[in-house]
Amino acid sequence: MSNAFTTLEGAIARGEAVRFWREPRYDGLECLSATFRTHRYARHTHETYAVAAVIDGCETFYHRGAQRYASTGTMAVVCPDELHDGEPAGAGFVYRTLYPSVELMRSIAEDVFDRPFAGVPGFAQSVVEDAGLSARMAHLHGVLADPRTSLLQRDTLLRGFFAQLLSRWGGLGEMPAVGDERGPVARARAHLDRHFAQDVTLDDLAAVARLNRAHLVRAFRKATGTTPHAYLSDRRVRAARRLLMAGQAPSEVALACGFCDQSHLNRVFKARMGVTPGAFRA
């Protein structure tokens, strides 16, 4: 992305909104959030994939010998080493882009389908018309941008999004069916019950359950109706309720229950209880 990113500095100088960062946890995943009105990318390639969810407006880009158009609710998908550019089609566009490595995509494919994957996952479409998956990516992007989100939430959402992208649009077919996994799910729930105040990872939980990560998340949802990270948030709120009822201050409760700070506790607690921790304690 280095050649393309050099030109983004000029976009910032023109008042266009750009944010770029890396997530070392996911094999150096690069993340870009941008609003472009006049910026034009020079033609370039990446060592990684480029997956962009268009939030508003329309982007046009040269790819695979033709001009493509990605409008609101669609995703532009470029595979490694493919020549492309990009610019606004009309007044401008807002998008969220992720640049996963081949290694990350391959590991997710192997996890989902539980078999070795020797090749490089590919995508036949330059523009994916899947509004639900595009919205899911935009949500994931926001979670990655928020330092208060748990590792379990990040792991679950990121792997879940790319699993769906590979299954629906990467030619890998339907994901294997999930059977009765009451034992592994029970072990995962017990682990979350005991360690709710810690930043549990999906790797931790999969090891306890003795299932691979993708299978665990789907089995957990089937058995409980929710995801592991939502279950963890629920357990943290339950513990917070008990401490608040005992008279502890919200700032102390936040730290004791695994929240980043009091504002994080306030947001999660009110979403589930309808009132702030301070009002609940009073």
Alpha carbons 163 and 136: distance in angstroms, whole number: 12
Structure tokens given for 264? 């994080």
Helix 102-113 and helix 213-224, axial crossing angle in degrees, nearest 10 = 50
Secondary structure, 3-state, 233-281? HHHHHHHHHHHHHCCCCHHHHHHHCCCCCHHHHHHHHHHHHCCCHHHHH
Query: Which amino acid would we find at residue 81?
Result: D
State the pTM of this model: 0.87
State the DSSP H helix or E strand holding residue 220, giving kind and residue range, or none if neither: helix 213-224
What is the β-pairing status of strands 75-78 and 127-128? antiparallel
Contact 105, 159 (CB under 8 A): no
Binned at pLDDT 50, 70 and 90, residue 79 comes out as very high
Q: Which long-range contacts (CB under 8 A, 24 or more apart) does 171-174 make?
A: 171/122, 171/123, 171/124, 172/109, 172/112, 172/113, 172/121
Alpha carbons 200 and 227: distance in angstroms, whole number: 13
Binned at pLDDT 50, 70 and 90, residue 120 comes out as confident
Q: Specify which residues 54 forms β-bridges with.
A: 95
Query: With 90 as the cut, is the pLDDT of residue 248 above it?
Result: yes
Query: With 70 as the cut, is the pLDDT of residue 73 above it?
Result: yes
pLDDT of residue 40: 94
Task: For 24, list phi and psi in degrees, rounded to 5.
Answer: -55, -30
**CA 15 and chain centroid, separation:** 27
- Per residue in 141-185, pLDDT tens? 999 999 889 999 999 999 999 999 999 999 888 888 888 899 999
Residue range 201-226: mean pLDDT, rounded: 94
Residue range 222-226: mean pLDDT, rounded: 94
What is the β-pairing status of strands 41-44 and 66-71? unpaired
pLDDT of residue 11: 53
Alpha carbons 282 and 244: distance in angstroms, whole number: 9
